[in-house]
């Protein structure tokens, strides 16, 4: 799933807004005096509805402690039941079951039927979301028996869970029957006459249940038929705005809206044969799917789930050594190329000098030669200083990576191991940025950067930048602050994510490098709009050593800004030069204001073109009913291991590895693979040749190049050979996952008739 990630700053921002509007809901859940105790279920439900789960969990634990201290069994049961609801919301279904069962045990001992009714309903919901259908089927009759005796509104809520269970388990006939029972019951029931199990009435409950029953009934009518035109009539009788309003209470309302529009797409594709309308509804469905995935990412971040698994310490050490060797080789290549360029430049200058000065007398020629020689000596001195600095900058993170890998291998304490691992990632990120800057400086000096514009959200790009520099800032105890002007959630900008991220990362690292204490702040301010264009102002502020006005002229020079590489800090001196050069490709320029010993603010403005289309219309779906089988071709064992582990982290994917191009061709002929990840540089037969041979007998299988080469340099050759896409190493796992999952979506669309919508 290559959708982009949401960072901690965005979550804190959302939490802040929620706290402002729902502060009253975050009071104590229990009001107690010497004679009575009241549990405020409405305030708790308001916290859960608005995702203040952390606050709700704290309050519930306080309520449980209070209840146990004063032996308030009924309040304790309510607290357990509510904690089960919160954990269900956080997708921690096993723990949620445990708390529901604790509540059931107490309610049963007290003979509290309404409490049993609510706890049974909570368990049914957890079983559906966990897809534990055997437990659901065994509990459902008992739960409905209790609700029927109480004449409770929970009867209809449980019936909706039953219908959803039938939907997820593909029991279409049962879904059709249950939804029809629910619709008929709602027509004849007066909800005001019900004996509510909750101590307050849920707003619009009957309307929401009616819309849900109606939606699943329409889906069941389609699935139990042969996709005839008349079978789609119930679907088109549903008002999408009413469905959206009723689904707002769902854990993920966008899934239901995505499926709703998807079945309209099927109607116009297979029954009505109206491709314009079909494309319209497919676009709407993909839009909702994208929002659903964004919600999922936010939930995963909020719940604190791990994104990456820790690689075995021995494997990590071996990987670090391999990276060190590669980086040492790259450094030598850069050093040799720079020396050769300097010699060639000196020869050219000398030839031109003699050509234009040949007619002048020998005295002037000798004088000019002396001046030229002095300049060359000064240039050589500057170059030597730069390489000395660069050697230090390269050795420091390499030493850190090697040392931290050893510490991880020797450390048994998991907390310390995680701390070492975070520091190792920070050193790796810094080293990657430094090497990119060195190569970029050499490339940008002679070429104009061609931007690869794609739709993206500025919040997502800033989030990626903050996650890259977070550990470096933490190591210096610096606070990272982000302020971004609000914008339409459906509004994207056309931007080269890689180039623009490099601008912000270099500015942020520069701010961290020259700041000993305080904070680093990134501000994004909307300056103006004009039609489909928006102008944004970007500011990177720090509380560091500042810059004297006399140094302004050399700040952005590649080799002249050594003034700042003093006892206050270290650095290669390339970051700001890269920033200024990349901004030229964006038709922009950078400036700064600074006060010595108080801090600096770098700022620039860029005009972007707006795009209302979603970034990833081929977002991963759950349509596939079988595993996707991937072939990984790479001659490097460590790269094979890393790629294999990353593929195995993606649900529904399995893989096979091979280290030889010729063997890969034979394997593709023998077995049925859904996707191939191909290394470019391999001995005997490189990735281009292997791809050409595969295309001779299989022109359709997606082949993705997984390479450390710059994608812009090899894109033409890759396209000619038949490679579908290039993934540049090193990559962010979530971006890699999104790309891989996008090809599952392509597979789904090729098998659309047999696939199931989300």
pLDDT digits (tens, 9 = 90+) for 404-414: 677 676 677 77
- Poorest-confidence range of 349-353, 433-437, 480-484, 592-596? 433-437
Long-range contacts of 270-276 (CB under 8 A, 24+ apart): 270/227, 270/753, 271/227, 271/228, 271/229, 271/232, 272/229
At residue 24 the predicted structure's pLDDT band, cuts being 50, 70 and 90, is very low
Q: What pLDDT sits at residue 623? A: 46
pLDDT at 616 exceeding the cut of 60: no
The half-sphere exposure of 360 on its side-chain side, counting CA atoms within 13 A, is: 12
Contact 378, 551 (CB under 8 A): no
C-alpha distances (whole Å) from 243 to each of 255, 256, 261, 284 are 12, 9, 11, 14
Which residue in this structure is represented by tokens 């079945």? 263
At residue 391 the predicted structure's pLDDT band, cuts being 50, 70 and 90, is low
Contact 506, 465 (CB under 8 A): no
Give the separation between CA 285 and CA 21, rounded to whole angstroms: 31
The string of pLDDT tens digits covering residues 504-543 is 988 998 899 889 899 999 999 999 999 889 999 999 999 9
pLDDT at 591 exceeding the cut of 90: yes
Give the separation between CA 203 and CA 99, rounded to whole angstroms: 26
CA 256 to chain centre: 22
Please state whether 361 falls in left (phi above 0), alpha (psi between -120 and 50) or beta.
beta
Count the residues in the chain. 758
pLDDT at 658 exceeding the cut of 90: yes
For residues 678 and 326, the model is more confident at 678
CA 306 to chain centre: 13
Q: What pLDDT sits at residue 678? A: 93
Q: What pLDDT sits at residue 590? A: 93
pLDDT at 419 exceeding the cut of 50: yes
Residue % of the chain over a pLDDT of 70: 74
List 541's β-bridge partners, or say none: 521, 601
Contact 472, 434 (CB under 8 A): no
Q: How many other CB atoms are found less than 10 A from the CB of residue 722?
A: 17
Encoded tokens for 523: 């501000």
Encoded tokens for 61: 């634990």
**Please, which residues have CB within 8 angstroms of residue 555's CB and are 6 or more apart in sequence?**
547, 561, 564, 576, 592
What separation, in Å, do the N-terminal and C-terminal C-alpha atoms of the chain show? 15
Contact 743, 702 (CB under 8 A): yes
Q: Summarize the confidence of residues 264-289 as an average pLDDT.
A: 83
Contact 657, 677 (CB under 8 A): no
Tell me the three state secondary structure of residue 304.
coil
Cα dihedral 473, 476, 477, 479 sign: negative
Q: Summarize the confidence of residues 342-350 as an average pLDDT.
A: 88
Residue 702 phi, psi (nearest 5): -65, 130
Q: What pLDDT sits at residue 74? A: 87
DSSP state of 625: S
Give the separation between CA 578 and CA 443, rounded to whole angstroms: 10
Angle at 733 between CA 727 and CA 737, to 5 degrees: 70
For residues 13 and 169, the model is more confident at 169
Q: Are strands 30-32 and 454-456 parallel, antiparallel or unpaired?
A: unpaired
Q: Where do the domains of the chain lie, and which CATH numbers do they carry?
A: 313-444 (1.10.287.130), 454-611 (3.30.565.10), 628-750 (3.40.50.2300)
Q: What pLDDT sits at residue 6? A: 45
Give the separation between CA 144 and CA 152, rounded to whole angstroms: 10
Q: What is the mean pLDDT of the chain?
A: 78
Q: Summarize the confidence of residues 276-297 as an average pLDDT.
A: 81
Strand (E) or helix (H) holding 611 = strand 599-611
Q: What pLDDT sits at residue 319? A: 60
Contact 140, 124 (CB under 8 A): yes
Which residue in this structure is represented by tokens 């930048």? 465
pTM passes above 0.85: no
The half-sphere exposure of 725 on its side-chain side, counting CA atoms within 13 A, is: 13
Encoded tokens for 266: 């099927």
**Please, which residues have CB within 8 angstroms of residue 268's CB and are 6 or more apart in sequence?**
274, 275, 277, 278, 281
Strand (E) or helix (H) holding 227 = none
Which residue in this structure is represented by tokens 């389609």? 222
CA 106 to chain centre: 42
pLDDT at 747 exceeding the cut of 80: no
At residue 51 the predicted structure's pLDDT band, cuts being 50, 70 and 90, is low
pLDDT at 614 exceeding the cut of 80: no
Cα dihedral 160, 161, 164, 170 sign: negative
Residue among 552, 623, 622 at smallest CA distance from 594: 552
Contact 84, 99 (CB under 8 A): yes
Give the separation between CA 39 and CA 32, rounded to whole angstroms: 9
Give the separation between CA 176 and CA 184, rounded to whole angstroms: 12
Contact 160, 123 (CB under 8 A): no
Give the separation between CA 90 and CA 55, rounded to whole angstroms: 13
């Amino acid at each position: 799933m290559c959708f982009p990630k949401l960072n901690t700053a965005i979550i804190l921002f959302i939490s802040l807004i929620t706290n402002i509007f729902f502060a009253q809901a975050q009071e104590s859940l229990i009001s107690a005096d010497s004679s009575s105790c009241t549990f405020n279920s409405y305030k708790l439900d308001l916290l859960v509805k608005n995702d203040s789960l952390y606050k709700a969990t704290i309050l519930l634990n306080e309520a449980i402690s209070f209840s146990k201290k004063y032996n308030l069994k009924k309040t304790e049961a309510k607290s357990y039941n509510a904690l089960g609801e919160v954990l269900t919301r956080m997708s921690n279904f096993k723990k949620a079951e445990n708390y529901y069962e604790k509540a059931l045990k107490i309610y049963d001992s007290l003979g509290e039927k309404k409490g049993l009714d609510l706890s049974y309903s909570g368990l049914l919901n957890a079983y559906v979301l966990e897809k534990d259908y055997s437990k659901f089927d065994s509990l459902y009759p008992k739960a409905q028996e209790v609700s029927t005796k109480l004449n409770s509104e929970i009867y209809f809520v449980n019936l909706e869970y039953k219908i959803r269970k039938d939907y997820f388990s593909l029991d279409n006939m049962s879904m059709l029957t249950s939804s029809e029972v629910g619709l008929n019951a709602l027509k004849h029931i007066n909800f005001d006459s019900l004996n509510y199990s909750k101590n307050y009435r849920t707003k619009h409950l009957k309307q929401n249940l009616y819309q849900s029953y109606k939606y699943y009934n329409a889906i069941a009518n389609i699935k139990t038929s042969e996709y005839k035109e008349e079978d789609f009539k119930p679907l088109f009788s549903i008002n999408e705005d009413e469905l959206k309003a009723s689904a707002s209470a769902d854990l993920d309302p966008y899934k239901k809206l995505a499926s709703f529009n998807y079945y309209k797409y099927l109607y116009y594709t297979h029954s009505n044969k109206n491709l314009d309308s079909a494309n319209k509804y497919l676009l709407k469905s993909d839009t909702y799917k994208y929002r659903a995935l964004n919600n999922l990412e936010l939930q995963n971040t909020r719940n604190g789930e791990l994104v990456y698994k820790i690689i075995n310490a021995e494997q990590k050490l071996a990987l670090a050594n391999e990276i060190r060797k590669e980086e040492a080789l790259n450094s030598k290549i850069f050093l040799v190329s720079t020396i050769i360029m300097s010699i060639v430049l000196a020869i050219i200058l000398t030839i031109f000098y003699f050509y234009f000065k040949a007619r002048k007398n020998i005295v002037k020629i000798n004088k000019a030669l002396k001046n030229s020689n002095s300049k060359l000596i000064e240039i050589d001195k500057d170059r030597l200083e730069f390489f000395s600095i660069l050697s230090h900058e390269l050795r420091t993170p390499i030493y850190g990576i090697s040392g931290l890998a050893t510490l991880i291998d020797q450390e048994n304490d998991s907390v310390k191991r995680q701390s070492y691992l975070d520091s190792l990632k920070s050193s790796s990120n810094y080293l990657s940025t430094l090497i990119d800057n060195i190569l970029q400086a050499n490339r940008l000096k002679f070429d104009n950067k061609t931007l690869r514009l794609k739709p993206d959200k500025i919040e997502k790009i800033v989030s990626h930048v903050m996650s890259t520099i977070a550990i470096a800032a933490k190591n210096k105890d610096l606070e990272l602050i982000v302020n971004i002007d609000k914008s339409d959630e459906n509004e994207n900008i056309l931007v080269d994510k890689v180039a623009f991220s490099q601008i912000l990362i270099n500015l942020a690292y520069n701010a961290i490098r020259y700041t000993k204490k305080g904070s680093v702040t990134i501000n994004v301010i909307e300056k103006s709009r004009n039609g489909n264009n928006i102008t944004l102002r970007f500011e990177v502020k720090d509380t560091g050593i500042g810059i004297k006005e006399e140094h302004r002229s050399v700040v952005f020079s590649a080799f002249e800004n050594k003034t700042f590489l003093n006892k206050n800090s270290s650095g290669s001196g390339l970051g700001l030069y890269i920033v200024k050069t990349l901004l030229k490709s964006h038709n922009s320029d950078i400036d700064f204001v600074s006060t010595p010993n108080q801090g600096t603010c770098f700022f620039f403005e860029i005009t972007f073109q707006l795009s209302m289309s979603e970034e990833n219309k081929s977002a991963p779906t759950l349509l596939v009913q079988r595993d996707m089988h991937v072939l990984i071709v790479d001659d490097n064992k460590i790269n094979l291991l890393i790629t294999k582990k990353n593929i195995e982290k993606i649900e529904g994917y399995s893989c096979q590895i091979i280290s030889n191009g010729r063997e890969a061709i034979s394997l593709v002929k023998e077995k049925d693979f859904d996707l191939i990840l191909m290394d470019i540089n391999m001995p005997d037969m490189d990735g281009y040749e292997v791809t050409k041979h595969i295309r001779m007998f299989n022109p359709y299988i997606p082949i993705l190049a997984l390479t450390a080469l710059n994608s812009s340099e090899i894109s033409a050759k890759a396209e000619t050979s038949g490679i579908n896409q290039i993934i540049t190493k090193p990559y962010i796992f979530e971006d890699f996952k999104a790309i891989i999952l996008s090809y599952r979506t392509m597979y789904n669309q090729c098998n659309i008739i047999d696939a199931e919508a989300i």
